[in-house]
């Protein structure tokens, strides 16, 4: 195992499903991160919030995610972007939780608000 592979194994991971994915407007927030690959999580359901999706921890046919190895500093920046409030996670726009992926456990941001009147994305891909 080379030095880079050892470093990546120690990095936090993040699973993204919306505007942070390649080709979308917030992907630059992952500049310098290492794309580990794509997966489909059957424990997430995506909802169409208009300009971005939100995910809930619910069974589905699978939400398509990209998994990145990031630095702790990048995770802190993503917390700001996603309005994640560590000392009161249920009060921000998003909370975050760890999910198992093909590339190891990864943080994923979960939408806090009610989605009863929001369209579900049954394809799992936003």
Catalytic residues: 82
If DSSP states are collapsed to H, E and C, what string results for the chain?
CCHHHHHHHHCCEEEECCCCCCCCCCHHHHCCCEEEEEEEECCCEEEECCCCEEEECCCCCCEEEEEEECCHHHHHHHHHHCCCCCCCCCCCCEEEEEEEECCEEEEEEEECCCCCCCCEECCCCC
């Amino acid at each position: 195992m080379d030095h880079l592979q050892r470093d990546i194994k120690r990095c936090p991971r993040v699973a993204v499903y919306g505007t942070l994915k390649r080709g979308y407007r917030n992907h630059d927030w992952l500049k310098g991160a290492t794309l580990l690959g794509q997966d489909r999580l059957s424990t997430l359901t995506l909802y169409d919030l208009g300009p971005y999706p939100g995910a809930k921890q619910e069974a589905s046919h699978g939400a398509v995610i990209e998994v990145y190895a990031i630095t702790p500093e990048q995770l802190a920046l993503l917390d700001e972007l996603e309005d994640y409030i560590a000392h009161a996670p249920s009060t921000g726009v998003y909370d975050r939780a760890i999910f198992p992926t093909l590339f190891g456990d990864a943080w994923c941001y979960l939408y806090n608000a009610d989605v009863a009147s929001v369209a579900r994305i049954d394809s799992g891909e936003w």
